Structure 1
Amino acid sequence: MARTVARVIVDALSELGVRQVFGVVGDALNPLTDAIRTTEDLDWVGCRHEEAAAFAASAQSQLTGTLGVCMGTVGPGSVHLLNGLYDAAKSHAPVLAIAGQVPLAEVGGDYFQEVDNDALFSDVAVFRATVTSPDQLPRLLETAVRTALGRKGVAVLTVPGDIGERELTADRPTRLSLDTGVSRPEEAAVRRAAELLDASERITLLVGEGARAARADVLALADRLAAPMVLTLKAKAGFEGGANPFQVGQTGLIGNPAAASALQDADTLLLLGTDFPYREWYPEGRSVVQVDTEATHIGRRVPVDIGLVGDTGATVRDLLSHLGAAPDGGGGTRDRSHLDTARERFDAWRTGQARLADPAHDKGIVGRLRSALDNRTHDIRPEALAAAVDRIAAEDAVFTSDTGMATVWLSRFVEMRGERKLIGSYNLGSMANAMPQALGAQCLDRDRQVVAFCGDGGLSMLLGDLMTLKTYQLPVKLVLFDNRRLGMVKLEQEQAGLPEFGTELDNPDFAAVAQAMGITGIRVTDPDELQDAVQRAFHSPGPVLLDVLTNPEEIAVPAKPTVEQGWGFAVAKVKEVVRSHGEPAGD
């Protein structure tokens, strides 16, 4: 029996194991959504904004390593997918986007809502094509899916409005199987890298997301090299926790001094599965070995002495088989002072951070002095909120975080121990990602706790999709850092010596907004009520929005604060004080 284009697409997605498709219904998608309606093991999740749909599909792909799927209808619907798809592309998440198009006969005639999808998605997609004949479909669909999975990117398949309901003349099953295999570098290159590492006295590892599947091998390598392990944000889930005696946290603007020192004090850096982009945080003049599956990543952030292109786990195992036990390649024991020093600094930094996160901190002598300068209204410290969530959240919770200060507090105060997972817009740096990514994550498993660290700017940008959580009764816990600011922008301005401008947000009572939508809303303004409020939020059924008024003046000190940053901040504060008295700020 012949099947329609829409039925072939939907059946193929079901057979592939896709369980949800995210999008907004309409015109060209009608045959597809109707096919989903009549498919038992595939659900349509109707979002309020296509951008949220794309973020949700990307989140599912990042958590499972398989295909995420979203849809956008003709013109504006497809345009709205773009930001979420860029996030998927930058996160190397395989996502298939089905985009609607005007009827074939109208293409090219500036028809109502017509957009050139192939041009629109040319930069974001590893594959894009428009179906112009039903019999093209099996080949185009197979190519789209295999390209998305094989190249870990976005594939866009455009379906004109009069194509979806047409039948194929030669109906054949789609074949979507793909074996990516495991790549290894040349043995001669591995041997040279091992010789360089054997000759090095102080080695530091910079470990990224690409090494997460090789945790045991990477820990064995760190032990063999007596090397501290600096983690990128995306490597927190997988390498953090008490079972890793080598990790010293993150570097960069959200990092800590111990990690910065571990990199600076090394004579050799070993980069494993990371494309950490911030060049200014790499020390100069060090020997560098880099391992990555992508040859194009080798050396594009920092000059590399030896590049090893291959799977991280396979490459690390090859390195271990070639390494000697000591710098001279002999049977001695490698000196561990570099590792011990880095860990001592990290432990000391964490102890200091724990004091800041103590809800009683502002009641002590030091805390009262500090509050007089930066928290005169006695708002809740964001450190205390993040630490409370860390204590209460499940050991297998999935965390998402909005770009900005919410990510800073998560990175410093939430430990990705146990089976916890973490995703965010950590390559694109988009606003408004945490809530829709949590939506996608919760659809995968309604029984697994999903926690979104939301900024007030990010949450309000896609606020409508709170209703999606309510409609599908997805029990996401939204933790809102309500500082009435675009906090990271404020910090950037002040570090550059500029007075705060354009960052203040005229927020509603978000808890009341949530309640009006039929979602449990809890608002916290008193630090003494914080712990109980977090407990109540996490033990309440269904979706919950925890609206916590946090201190807008909180400063996240970078791992290596510069004199220029400190001076710029001081100048900015003077300008803000002058402006607050009604006088224009001078140059």
Structure 2
Amino acid sequence: MARSVAQAILEQLGLWGVKRIYGVVGDAVFGLIDALAKQTSISFIAVKHESVAAMMASAEAKVTGRLAVCISHMGPGLTNLITGLGDAYLDKVPVLAITGQVPLNKIGTTYKQYIDQQQLVQAVSSFSQMAVHPDAILESMTHAMYTSLLQRTVSHLSIPSDVFTMFTTMQPCEPPPVSVSSPDPLEIRHALDLLRSAKRPVLLVGSRARSAREPIRKLAEVWRCAIANSYGAVGIVPDSYPLMVSGLGEGGNPYLPELLERADVVLAVEASWPDKFITTSPALIQLVSHPSEFGTLRSASRRILGHTNSILENWIDGLSEYEPDPGWERQIRECKQAWAALNEKERNQNASPLSPSAIIQVMENHIPADAVIALDEGDSTLWFLRNFRAAQQNVLLSEHWRTMGFGLPAAMAAKCCLPEKQVVCITGDGGLAMVLADLITASRYGFLITVIVFQNGTLQMERDKMLMKGLQLQDTEIANPDFVKVSEACGWISYHAEHADQLANALLMSQNSSKPSLINVRTARIPHPDFLSHV
């Protein structure tokens, strides 16, 4: 049975579990947009800028682990996508980007907006192909989608605009089964022997370990190890857990590197080892569920690939007779207590404008334990990672690409995927300004999210780094609109907060709002402690 190429594309996406597509309408994808309008299985989320579409797709893939899709017009549409595709590529999540291309008879000419899209996108994708025959589209698409899922990466298809409306008799296919690698039993046993030999053990948890939350806690109970988060891995183990010593590296526990210098065995679960923070070389075991993560630990003594939960359960049983060192547990407690005392001192400040750490404390007291928190890139993120004592919140961030503007798109995508959860975006005024137009997208689709803006009129992190390097400040001051008025004009309910009680009240109001909420918090210009000693 013949169908249009665009219809066949949507049928195949539906078979592979795709629920929505993010993008901007352009004439090079009119055929696909028309097919979307004639069906109800897949939603189209129309954003104001293609970078937001790609960041939303990346965030969806991070939340669900499934393939996410974005589309754009050719040429400048694709160049705008690249910011978000870079995030998905470096953070290793499956995203498919479909872009239009000039009509078949204009390929290779001087036609407007024509460019070699495969060459353009190769730095942020593992697969990119132009498909030009209607009967080849689904085969190319299957290859692209399978590559994204199997390699946790970005794939890209460019399709000439006139091909979308051509007909094909090729049938959409369901996704092939993807098996999880079975680890070598001998490697599992050797790693267990290493765990048993530890006197000063540490468990380093990465952001991909969220599904292994329970076995991680069980392992810590029997191994009596310090638990540390790698960058951004907040909420997997509650901060209140006695053995949790918070984050390592930027925005982390400043006392933790000293503790890790004394460790003799480190188990890194879906985590990378931050060489620039640690100079010693303990025995290092890396446990990952995907081979692409092996490159993140160059000095691992043992590398284990397989189903994380089942391997951890195996080790839990094998450590049933492990005898922990009371002296090491005492050192863990001392590290945790020293950090808790400093954290509390930083947070308990009532001056106006509010200090970033005081803002974090109010947020912590009023954000539900199961909320999703989308972080933008910048100073506000470092303060969050340093001062927020997480319960089990799910935190989204641009971990490796670290692009400003990520917070709002990530929050909107999270609300699409988890409509029953409270979703909070934490951003600076610089980051929000980059995606300001898409405040309208949230109100248009009824995304009931809360955005908290750290508004201090400066690119604080860049200012601090320039001072740290002894450089002359240049244009770190930024001009802002009135975020409250702008967001209200976009259909939001908005608040301005200068004191802790105003912020707390706004957070409570936002939880029951019938519209998305923005809270503009006047924020003190305080250098982050990671830079303070140099400023």
Q: Partners of 2:115 and 2:491 in 1: how far apart?
A: 37
What is the CA–CA distance in structure 1 between the aligned matches of 2:321 and 2:229, rounded to whole Å?
A: 24
Equivalent of 1:395 in 364, 369, 393:
369
Structure 2 residue matching 1:201: 3-state secondary structure = coil
What is the rounded CA distance, in whole Å, between the counterparts of 1:119 and 1:446 in structure 2? 38
How do 1:246-285 residues align onto structure 2 when only pairs under 5 Å count? 246-276=243-273, 278-285=274-281
1:11 equivalenced with 2:7 (yes/no): no
Instruction: Give the match's secondary structure for 2:263.
Output: coil
Measure, in 2, the Cα distance between the counterparts of 1:383 and 1:320.
Answer: 37
Moved more, 350-359 or 115-124: 350-359
* Structure 2 residue 93 is the aligned partner of structure 1 residue 97: no
TM-score relative to the length of structure 1: 0.86
Letter in 2 for 1:475: L
Instruction: List per-residue Cα deviations over 1:98-157 (Å, max 9, x = no partner).
Output: 111001111111310012111112121222211110000221121121111111111111
Q: What does residue range 47-86 of structure 1 map to in structure 2 within 5 Å?
A: 47-86=47-86
Equivalent position amino acid for 2:187 in 1: A
Match runs of 1:408-447 below 5 Å: 408-418=382-392, 420-447=393-420
Tell me the CA shift for residue 255 of structure 1: 0.6
Task: Give the one of 205, 213, 224 matched to 2:203.
Answer: 205
Q: Using the alignment, how far apart are the partners of 1:290 and 1:396 within structure 2?
A: 28
Report the equivalent of 1:354. Answer: 344
| Match of residue 494 from structure 1 | 467
| Structure with max Cα Rg | 1
1:135 matched to which residue of 2? 135
Q: Distance in 2 between matches of 1:31 and 1:252?
A: 48
Deviations 1:13-49 (A, max 9, x none): 2233322211110112111111111111221111100
How do 1:336-351 residues align onto structure 2 when only pairs under 5 Å count?
336-351=326-341
Write the distance in 2 (CA, Å) between the matches of 1:15 and 1:293.
25
How far, CA to CA, are the matches of 2:460 and 2:260 in structure 1? Answer: 28
Distance 1:270 1:517 in 2: 48
- AA aligned to 1:417 is A
Question: 1:192 aligns to what SS in structure 2?
Answer: helix
State the shift of 1:499 in Å. 4.7
**In the TM superposition, what are the counterparts of 1:57-206 in structure 2 within 5 Å?**
57-168=57-168, 170-172=169-171, 174-206=172-204
Q: Does the CA contact (< 8 Å) of 1:226 and 1:336 recur in 2? A: no
Secondary structure (helix, strand or coil) at the match of 1:119 reads helix
Q: 1:285 to 1:137 in 2, by over 3 A?
A: closer
Equivalent position SS for 1:113: coil
TM superposition shift of 1:535: 2.5
Query: Which one is further off, 72-81 or 188-197?
Result: 188-197
Q: How does 1:24-63 map to 2 (within 5 A)?
A: 24-63=24-63
Structure 2 counterpart of 1:385: 359
Shift of 1:51: 0.3
Paired residue secondary structure (1:157): strand
- 1:287 corresponding residue in structure 2: 283
Q: Is the 8 A contact 1:239 1:247 kept in 2?
A: yes
Task: Tell me the number of residue pairs that the alignment of Structure 1 and Structure 2 aligns.
Answer: 535
Decide whether the 8 Å contact of 2:503 with 2:519 is kept in 1: no
Q: Give the whole-Å Cα distance in 1 for the aligned partners of 2:70 and 2:386.
A: 33
Are the structure 2 counterparts of residues 551 and 515 from structure 1 closer, same or farther at C-alpha, using a change threshold of 3 Å?
same
Amino acid at match of 2:93: A
Q: Secondary structure at the match of 1:239?
A: coil
How far off its partner does 1:341 sit? 2.2
The one-letter amino acid paired with 2:180 is V
- Map of 1:556 onto structure 2: 528
**CA displacement at 1:394 relative to structure 2:** 2.4
The alpha carbon displacement at 1:352 in A equals 3.1
Q: What is the RMSD of the two structures over their aligned residues, measured on CA atoms? A: 2.1
Structure 1: gaps of 5 or more residues:
327-332, 363-377, 570-587
**Bigger mean CA offset, 74-83 vs 539-548:** 539-548
* Corresponding position of 1:405: 379
Shift of 1:528: 5.1
Report % sequence identity.
Answer: 29
